[in-house]
Amino acid sequence: MHKPAILAAVLLLVGTVQALGFDYARYEATDLDTLMAQRRPKAGVDLRPALPMKLKVALVAYAEGCESGLLKRTMLMADIPKDQVDALAITRCIKIRSAKGKALRIFIQDEVANFLPKEVPLGSFVTLYVVHLFTDPSGPGLLVNEFSTDSGDGPAPAGKQAQQSASPCGCGTPDFHPGTDMTNDAEGARVQSVDDGVVVKIEQDERAVVDVPNIGRCGRYVVIKHDYPNGRVVFTRYAQLGRIVGSDGQPLTPGTRVTGMDKIGEVGSSKIMHFEIRPVDAATMETSADWTARYGADSSMECSRYPSVDPKTFDLSVFGVTGKSGK
């Protein structure tokens, strides 16, 4: 990993300047979902006393240009000397995702942003060392001072990127497994659609990379799009399949309409079926230039714009309900 390239101006935000390097111990482990749930002003900005926080999050998009005028004004209000604030290069933001799938754009020092693509694959987890400078109606205003790819207690050895091993099903990593695994003792056991929908994607390549590089191989899979009368949409994905066939034993094709409980495939030789539910939600939609470059021309990959939610807690029957309970 790179050596910390932190300016003294930012170190002043979190305490005494450390002559020998970045003071990781000052950053308190914080849950991003809890932070995002805190009260927000309806208008204007609530200042924060430059609280140092350590966040473990998924990296959704690398740095893109963003306006940092508000951030620097809040730094001045925190009595940071103007010459130090002016010397700090902050022109970009990154997009991260919490454990519950909530997305947030946050500021990052330009010098730190330059190292991120070299060491952290999109979709993988990373520990960010941030300061909380303000909260506005859109959420907390955070500035990334440093990151690490290990457990979060400090940087990995110089030049060494954290190794990622596959999850039990081979689709993902121990830290980033977008779904849940279901086992069956019998290879060839029936896999069925959870609800009515249309097949929008079929992948027959057992070595296909899914969504983002470096998260493993998801094998053969089927994606079904479910449209509900209330206008809501959800995608489901069934991965690590053996054969992809319908109830009539014939291969499925994109555009095939299925009803709930229809057969869509069979359990493969691993006897594990990787299952995902991905609700369409503008708040969590992936819009980065990286995603557009990779999948923008492939409409069948639309499901990858949205994070997977926990199938154990997400109720499709409630999600698709019309009337008061479905609003």
Q: How far is CA 279 from the centre of its chain?
A: 14
In whole numbers, what is the pLDDT of the chain averaged over residues? 79
188 located within any domain? yes
Q: For 255-288, write each residue's pLDDT tens digit.
A: 999 998 899 999 888 888 888 899 999 988 888 8
In a domain? residue 317: yes
One-letter amino acid for residue 249 of the chain:
G
**Is residue 197 a part of any domain in this protein?**
yes
Picking from 108, 106, 104, the residue whose alpha carbon sits closest to that of residue 37 is 104
Which of 129, 148, 167 finishes a domain?
A: 148
Q: What is the pLDDT of residues 197-225, one digit of tens each?
A: 999 999 887 655 555 444 456 788 999 99
So what's the pLDDT on residue 232? 93
Query: Domain boundary at 128, 148, 168, which?
Result: 148
Buried b (16+ CB within 10 A) or exposed e, 35-53: bbeeeeeeeebeebebbbb
Q: Report yes or no on 57 lying in a domain.
A: yes
CATH code at position 68: 2.40.50.140
Specify whether 118 is located in the same domain as 210: no
The residue among 148, 170, 198 that closes a domain is 148
Q: What residues make up the domain containing 91? A: 8-148
For the chain, how many structural domains are there in total? Answer: 2
Question: Lowest mean pLDDT: which of 11-15, 291-295, 313-317?
Answer: 11-15
312 and 217 in one domain? yes
**Does residue 193 contact residue 256 with C-beta atoms inside 8 Å?**
no
- pTM equals 0.50
170 against 38, higher pLDDT:
38
Tokens of 113: 């942003």
- Provide the token pair at 283: 């708040």
- Same domain? 134 vs 209: no
Query: Within this chain, do residues 208 and 133 fall inside the same structural domain, yes or no?
Result: no
Cα 144 from Cα 235, distance rounded (Å): 33
Would you give the end-to-end CA distance of the chain in angstroms? 47
Q: Specify if 164 maps to a domain.
A: no
**Judgement on whether residues 198 and 316 belong to the same structural domain of the protein:** yes
Statement to judge: residues 206 and 303 lie in one domain: yes
Return d(Cα 17, Cα 207) in angstroms, integer.
Answer: 49
Measure CA 117 to chain center: 15
Share of the chain above pLDDT 70, in %: 79
In this structure, the answer to whether residues 15 and 114 fall within a common structural domain is yes
Structural tokens at position 323: 């009337």
Largest CA distance in the chain: 73
Domain match, 314 and 184 both: yes
Residue carrying the six token digits 């400078």: 133
DSSP sequence for 299-315: GGGGGGGS--B-TTT--
* 105 and 235 housed in the same domain: no
- Band (pLDDT 50/70/90 cuts) for residue 149 is confident
Give me the CATH number covering residue 281. Answer: 2.70.70
pLDDT of 309 reads 85
Q: What is the mean pLDDT of residues 300-308?
A: 87
Neighbouring-strand partners of residue 97: 58, 103
Per DSSP (E only), the strands in the chain are: 28-29, 46-65, 92-97, 103-108, 125-136, 139-148, 180-183, 190-192, 197-203, 220-227, 233-241, 257-258, 263-266, 272-279
Does residue 252 sit in the same domain as residue 121?
no
Distance from chain centroid for Cα 8: 31
The DSSP string of 252-295 is: P-TT-EE-TT-EEEEB-TT-EEEEEEEE--TTT----HHHHHHH
pLDDT in tens, 169-180: 667 665 567 778
* Cα radius of gyration (the chain): 22
Does residue 98 surpass a pLDDT of 70?
yes
Position 153 in a domain: no
Are 144 and 28 in the same domain?
Answer: yes
In a domain, 158, yes or no: no
Same domain? For 139 and 253 the reply is: no
In a domain, 294, yes or no: yes
